[in-house]
Amino acid sequence: MVARWKPVHLGHAAVLRALCDQGEQVLIGIGSANRYDARNPFTVEETVAMIRLVLAGRDDFQVVPVDDLDDGPRWRLQVLELFGDLDLFVTANPYVASLLGTDYRVVRPITLVAEADRVPVDGVMVRREMARGGDWRSLVPPEVADYIGGRGLDSRFRSEFGLKTLALEAS
């Protein structure tokens, strides 16, 4: 699965755990690994740390940075090179599914997560609450909240991208 994971939220945590519960060896791609902006306000290293916190104690996954190339066909080739043969590719992004649908069996992440474990949260919601200084902590796993808050990453996000995030919401 390739997603941006910025930040890892409760919905992501359910998907990450389901992926590892159902797969022998899971490749977790960090999309837009080469971007640092309002939609990608955490570095690759910070994102890897959040994923590792959520999957603490597991060794059945590998994290793979995947750059954004602003070119779908080139991005597809990059993914094929980075990931090789797969039994399954998981994505909620219809464009990504269309790019990789002839190469992999593509499924939506929600199909892997038990209904009781599904959490209606997305990264936009978390970043918006973070920009407002609102209750973003309730939207992420406790260990991720502690990581972000303990390192002042929420304050950094607000100072660097808060106004832009709120302006994007208004438009």
Res 87 pLDDT > 80 = yes
Beta bridge partners, 61, equal 26
Q: Quick one: the chain helix, strand, coil %, rounded to 5?
A: 55, 10, 35
Query: Average of pLDDT values for 74-94?
Result: 97
Closest CA to 139 of 151, 152, 128: 128
Query: Average of pLDDT values for 46-66?
Result: 97
Q: Where are the alpha helices (DSSP H) in 84-139?
A: 94-100, 123-132
pLDDT for the residue numbered 139: 98
pLDDT for the residue numbered 134: 96
pLDDT for the residue numbered 73: 98
Res 169 pLDDT > 80 = no
pLDDT for the residue numbered 170: 76
**Domain covering 2-170 assigned CATH 3.40.50.620 in the classification:** yes
Confidence of residue 52 (pLDDT cuts 50, 70, 90): very high
pLDDT for the residue numbered 166: 93
Percent of the chain with pLDDT over 90: 97
Query: Average of pLDDT values for 94-120?
Result: 95
> CA dist 136 to 82, 122, 141, 165, 167, Å?
33, 11, 10, 14, 18
Res 48 pLDDT > 90 = yes
